[in-house]
Amino acid sequence: MNVPFLQLRPAEDDAAVREAISRVLDSGWLVLGPELEAFEREFAVATRATHAVGVGNGTDALALSLRALGIGPGDEVITTPLSAAYSALAVVMAGARPVFADIDPERFTLDPQATAAAVTSRTAAILPVHLYGQAADMDALAAVASRHHLALVEDCCQAHLATCNGRPVGSHGAAAAYSFYPTKNLGAFGDAGAITTSDEGLVTRLKRLRNGGQTGRYQHAELGVNSRLDELQAAVLRARLSFLPGWTGKRREAAGRYRRALAGNSAVRVPAEADSGHVYHLMVVRARARERLRQHLLERGIETLVHYPMPIPQQPAFAAFSPVACPAAAAACREVLSLPLHHRLDAGTIDLVAGTISAFGD
Ligand SMILES: *Cc1c(COP(=O)(O)O)cnc(C)c1O
């Protein structure tokens, strides 16, 4: 492959990551220790949140947020059909029922009007996903939530440091969930996640839930889960966190170069940037002849991916949730194409990818 989709080996962060790992090896303290506590403080500062609680992964961050808010069996949670299936899976893990509302086709995120139309007497929360690095329309979604007295839980798994109209993602709702899966904008060396919130009561509840529901050693006050962010991952994340603002800038620069190089291209359409706080977890374009274009690029050593090929409600696993049709999400699933993008992608490679796309004849 000349141009792999991603590059996950450490580079400028290499020394810091190795130092962090040896610090944990030398300490012999591996779970629920000082690295996690320090990361929780530092991540809250970085995301301009009040508190952060580390958990095992982003899916648990969502599911435990819902549970900590008292959302579960009998409740409906409105969410988007266009995301990693994990965002809807988390609703099911909490015991609630996912209800899908269609997306805004320009922004790719939960459409506020469709969301309002999906509210029933059982609706307890709205779970928007800040997809591809761009915030959902949070002012409009927060208005729907407030009108119907619903909780708002933000899926920030693809949106570390993103803003919405200048305001940090994660600050609009009761809780926000982050994933540090290795491919995310801030990645661990395995699975990891966190929840941010300004609600101290929620912090106490989340810390209990992630640790088996224990209030003290071997005292189980409720049925929690085992979902802790271990010291090795926390130390790696601390080492990388200081690089994240610079990496985010690099992602935005790369996206800008793609945009300029692909303007007016006939094979792909680059959706307009709806918010300048976009952090480009993915560089997604629309292509009518997507499969042929992917093949054309692959034959020339350029790897692309599709996020996502199928609306979540169409997945066999979600067949029991009698979904409404989501035509805008279904259309997006037929056309979206993710181009190689990471913080070390250089200008020459971006020009090569764009040039190869331009050379694609219909
Ligand atoms: C990655 C991701 C998740 C799940 O996070 P994990 O850490 O893999 O559990 C959930 N929602 C979105 C939008 C994601 O991108």
- State the CB neighbour count (10 A cutoff) for residue 280: 26
DSSP 13-68: THHHHHHHHHHHHHH---SSSHHHHHHHHHHHHHTT-SEEEEES-HHHHHHHHHHH
Helix ranges (DSSP H) in the chain: 14-27, 34-46, 58-68, 86-93, 112-117, 138-147, 200-209, 231-241, 244-262, 290-299, 327-335, 347-358
Q: pLDDT 10s per residue in the chain (362 long)?
A: 899 999 999 999 999 999 999 999 999 999 999 999 999 999 999 999 999 999 999 999 999 999 999 999 999 999 999 999 999 999 999 999 999 999 999 999 999 999 999 999 999 999 999 999 999 999 999 999 999 999 999 999 999 999 999 999 999 999 999 999 999 999 999 999 999 999 999 999 999 999 999 999 999 999 999 999 999 999 999 999 999 999 999 999 999 999 999 999 999 999 999 999 999 999 999 999 999 999 999 999 999 999 999 999 999 999 999 778 899 999 999 999 999 999 999 999 999 999 999 999 75
Residues 248/279, Cβ–Cβ less than 8 Å:
yes
Torsion over CA: 129, 331, 336, 283 (sign) = negative
Q: Which amino acid is at 154?
A: E
Give the gyration radius of the chain's Cα atoms.
Answer: 20
* Cα–ligand 1 centroid distance for 362 (angstroms): 35
Task: Residue 176: name the closest of 162, 199, 155 by CA.
Answer: 155
Which residue of 86, 279, 282 sits with most ligand 1 atoms within 8 Å of its CB, as the best mutation to test the pocket? 86
- Cα 295 to Cα 94: distance, rounded to the nearest angstrom: 40
Q: Given the DSSP bridges, would you call strands 214-216 and 167-168 parallel, antiparallel or unpaired?
A: unpaired
Burial of 32 (0-12, 13-18, 19+ CB in 10 A): middle
- Indicate whether this model's pTM tops 0.85: yes
Which residue of 6, 59, 281 sits with most ligand 1 atoms within 8 Å of its CB, as the best mutation to test the pocket? 59
In ligand 1, the atom with minimum distance to the C-alpha of 179 is: 7
With H, G, I as helix, E, B as strand and everything else as coil, classify residue 358. Answer: helix
